[in-house]
Structure 1
Amino acid sequence: MLDVSELRREYTQGGLRRKDLPEQPLELFELWLRQACEAKLTDPTAMCVATADASGQPSQRIVLLKHYDEKGFVFYTNLGSRKAQQLAENDKISLLFPWHPLDRQVHIMGRAEKLGKLEVLKYFNSRPKDSQIAAWVSQQSSRISARGLLEAKFLEFKQKFSKGEVPLPSFWGGYRVVVESIEFWQGGAQRLHDRFVYNQADEVSWEIERLAP
């Protein structure tokens, strides 16, 4: 078995200071995301989404961020998926952006709201046609016996929708994560990492606190 206890490195790419923080966390998130894109990180919009069922059992998976603004962070999914079933029982949710090459993480906690049909339709219609067809093919999180079944179903729907637009599946939608707190983590030498958390104080303002690494 691989001994992982000795796998370590130093975090030396810079610090984060209170005087440099904007009053609104979205400004810092946008700066860090832009820098992640400029650094050509693989999938800079990839985020780990953590949900929990009614019993408290957590579950995690990677999805792609598709929109963000002052209202929250948006992703799309099959409404029959495990994450959707868990959010129906417990709307609390956590997001994590793991930008390891930059020694950075962004951790968001909040609650998930289901998007309206018009917003979902607008995004669905912007997707490549093969991605639209794939949404029809997969009953996400359900058990299947072989990959060939998916491939055959994809070809079936590709033929079915070969002419005209692909309609929005009734079982496909999205969520907006309404932010309650957002933490910015910047790696530091000697494991003295810089962590700042923004907690929502009211509708327009945030309280900023430094956390111990």
Structure 2
Amino acid sequence: MLESLSWPAIIAAFVFVFSKSYEVTKIIWDDKKEKEKYIRSLFAEIDFNTRDMEIFISDSAPINLVKEKLIEDSSFLPHVTDSRHTDIYKSQINLIHHISDDYLPDVVSFYSIMNQIGVEVSSIYRPSFKKISIEGQVSTIKDLYVDSRECSRIGRKILDTMKDKYPNYKLKRKIRPAPSEHLGAGLEERFELLDLNLERAWAIHRENSIR
């Protein structure tokens, strides 16, 4: 059979097979590069949000003291900034197949809780917040504390899983220090952290509301 084939036909067949092999190899290579870029970006986004939660938790006064402050000062509002970053997860949802099944549920939970945190922060800065009872205000703030702790816990779990799962990517958490000078601050300083910069909180809240 081979003897009946002309050299041009053999060369054409070889070129065809080679081109197809190249196309398949390129698809695989492009998919690997796409996956690495996505995983790195998602890791960075989850790291940023997790660190934000950790900073918020470390700088927040205990809930019982917040309640005392609310009773003492009817105009008091806790200083809470909403700086969630969700662009990578939301805008590239078509790449979610790169997330393996063993930690995909955690990723979905992480962003779902972050969305809930956004709702809670928004409710604190609505005029209607000061119209509800002290117990209702405390309950909302407590929910924010609880969700922030849970979000940071899940975030750390995801980051550890990703580092173990993709050793070749050499993923590392970015060192973005909290305002550590405040960690040992007294109650008065902690309330200043919660209360003094409301303009910045409002600016960030308005910016996120526009998006």
TM-score range (shorter-chain normalised) is: under 0.3
TM-score, scaled to structure 1? 0.22
* Structure number with higher helix proportion: 2
Report the TM-score, using the length of structure 2 for normalisation.
0.22
**The structure with more radius of gyration:** 2
Larger strand fraction of residues: 1
